[in-house]
Amino acid sequence: MIPMVDLKRQYARLKKEIDEALGRALGETQFILGPNVAALEREVAAYHGLPFAVGCANGTDALLLALRACGIGAGDEVITSPFTFIATAETIALAGARPVFVDICPDTFNIDPEKIAPKISPKTRAIIPVHLFGHPADMAPILDIAREHHLKVIEDCAQAFGATYRQQRVGAFGDAGCFSFFPSKNLGCYGDGGMVITKNEDIAAKIKMLRNHGSATRYYHSEVGYNSRLDELQAAILRVKLPLIDEFNDARRANALQYGSALAGLDLLLPAERPGCRHVYHQFTLRAQNRQKIADALADAGIASAVYYPVPLHLQEVFLKMYGPQESLDVSEASAREVLSLPMFPELTAEEIRRIAHVIHHVR
């Protein structure tokens, strides 16, 4: 059996350090916004070369807190990709604004900057590019458009911790960068966790306040906020893993390289890496017209595969009910029909990749 992700292998390797870190945190008993959360915030900010990072309960809340801290709410429109996890657009609606979907590039599955301008209206206040599957969105033209139209940029980095665009790590380009530490993300904890990074002191202060019931001083509340703190034990685990993230991402890249050569010459569209980008392969996602046959053959051989994502967000029932019929977005819809993600994690072995490729070669 080869799963999509095997978290046991990484825990086996890091067991001693993680168990010790958990033991120390348990001994300290500062469970809410304790020393590990504060230290992880400093370490993640430094990793990105930014002054501020604020932990929160999960990646969805990271997006919601960033939207609220950027002042986005009722009557506003936010441009984003329809080819992503629901949280990207769900949080726009939760903030009271409306998501406006722009189609994606066929090679990276990320928002197509050339299609943004026609979707800008007087109500547009922000763009949320998603660095999907670990490949950076095309930030230079996105930042140009945002500057021209005075839009905020909130990066959804949930799948791309450590990915770089023109030598800069993603999350540091816009007004805020939002991360998820869901266990299967490329930097994952052992429960839920999230973080927002920013160069803007006011946004950082606002997020700190919002994550803690809209309170900067205990029992004084200036906004309707949330209970959305990063858990101290999760922060302790993440502090063990953060120093290894580049190594983990390198291992994913090596696996992707091996997949690429092992699957070359077949009638598949393999994941691309654009010049100037460092893809971290949170997922290894190909496109195939015979996706179901490949998935079935893999399943017969005890190999997992997955479809991320079968329904683009502009066609999700929730948004059809809220906003009525949407115009079609061809690249997203074609991608939803053809994508297939293969097992990918740092500890996946060369022998396993050979076995997976062997099965795919024999699909007729």
Ligand X SMILES: *Cc1c(COP(=O)(O)O)cnc(C)c1O
Measured distance CA(253)–CA(248) in Å, rounded: 9
Residues 6+ positions from 100 with CB-CB distance below 8 Å:
77, 78, 79, 80, 119, 121, 124
Q: Per CB under 6 A, which region of 8-16, 54-62, 195-203, 256-264 contacts ligand X?
A: 54-62
How far apart are CB 22 and ligand X at their closest, in Å? 20
How far apart are CB 265 and ligand X at their closest, in Å? 31
Measured distance CA(145)–CA(9) in Å, rounded: 43
How far apart are CB 74 and ligand X at their closest, in Å? 22
CA angle 164, 142, 203 (to 5 degrees): 80
Q: Which residue number, 60 or 198, has a Cβ lying nearer to ligand X?
A: 60
Answer yes or no: are the C-beta atoms of 37 and 28 closer than 8 Å.
no
Query: What Å distances lie between residue 116 and 102, 119, 127, 220, 270, CA to CA?
Result: 6, 5, 9, 41, 26
Question: Contact between 332 and ligand X (CB under 6 A)?
Answer: no
Residue of minimal CB distance from ligand X?
A: 59
Q: Which residue number, 60 or 200, has a Cβ lying nearer to ligand X?
A: 60
Question: Contact between 60 and ligand X (CB under 6 A)?
Answer: yes
Radius of gyration from C-alpha coordinates of the chain: 20
Nearest to 56, CA basis, from 183, 221, 180: 180
How far apart are CB 320 and ligand X at their closest, in Å? 21
Q: Which residue number, 59 or 136, has a Cβ lying nearer to ligand X?
A: 59
How far apart are CB 178 and ligand X at their closest, in Å? 7
Q: Which residue number, 185 or 206, has a Cβ lying nearer to ligand X?
A: 185
Pattern 155-184, binding to ligand X, x per CB under 6 A? -x-xx--------------------x-x--
Answer yes or no: are the C-beta atoms of 81 and 105 closer than 8 Å.
no
Q: Per CB under 6 A, which region of 10-18, 80-88, 116-124, 287-295 contacts ligand X?
A: 80-88
DSSP letter for 35, please. Answer: H
Contacts with ligand X by CB under 6 A lie at 58-60, 84-85, 87-88, 130, 156, 158-159, 180, 182, 192, 194
